[in-house]
Each structure stands twice: as structure tokens, then as C-alpha cells.
Amino acid sequence: ESYDNDDLCSPPASGSFLTDATVIIPCSLKTLSAIANGYADTLISRAGICSLKEGRKTILVIRETPLDLSSLENMVKAKKSGAIILPASPAFYHNPKRVEDLVDFIVGKVLDQLGLKHSLFKRWGQ
């Protein structure tokens, strides 16, 4: 099921909407700022805030670079609130050959944080 991002009355806007985790990918710096500062102006930011306040795993895949000081401070605020900050910065130790390999690396890192097994990339030493 999907919802409009401006629908703050939809189920994911409530802490009673049960989830195992919330993954915001990609997470813009605007959305990061909203979540870090408790400003729920969209369904995405509200779902992230609810996930944190309910103590659920919340993964923010930051997509932007370079980062200014306020963005770094917002990452610290979100981390202190319990978020996992996962920059969309693929590694190159697995010798990627295609763009898909870079995407798979980030998706694999998200799956690792969720405790889900995958074979999207070779682990160090494999």
C-alpha cells in the first residue's frame, strides 16, 4: 500500500502503526533536518519521527554531499535520538564493475542493519 506524502492522517503517521523498522532511502537533508528537529511536515518525516519515538530501528540513508555543519549537527541529533545514519557512499574494496554493484552495496548495508541475509556483495576477505 502507498500513501501521499502530504497525508498526515494515514496509518504510518501514527506511532500505533506497527513496523519492525523504518528505512528512509533516499533521505534528503531537508528530511533529515525535519526528523532531527521533530518537525513533521510530511508523512515521511512524521513516520521517521514516530519510529524514533517508539524506539524502533530507524535507518536514514543520506544521499547528499558535501555536508555543511548544520547537516552534520542534524545527523548527530538524529543519531542521539536512536537513528542509524547510513550515508549512500558505496565502498570500492569489492571491485564493482557496474553501477548496479554500487547500488547493491548500499542496499546490502541496509539489509545488514535490518538483520536480513543477502548476497548482494562480497564481504571483506571473501
Q: Domain ranges in the chain? A: 1-89, 90-126
CATH hierarchy code of domain 1-89: 3.40.50.1950
Indicate if the pLDDT at residue 6 is higher than 80.
yes
The pLDDT tens digits of the residues spanning 60-74 come to: 999 999 999 999 999
- pLDDT score of 115: 98
Q: Angle, nearest 10°, between helix axes 43-53 and 29-36?
A: 40
The pLDDT tens digits of the residues spanning 18-52 come to: 999 999 999 999 999 999 999 999 999 999 999 99
Distance separating alpha carbons of residues 46 and 73, to the nearest angstrom: 20
- Which of 10, 110, 11, 1 lies closest to 57 in space, CA to CA? 110
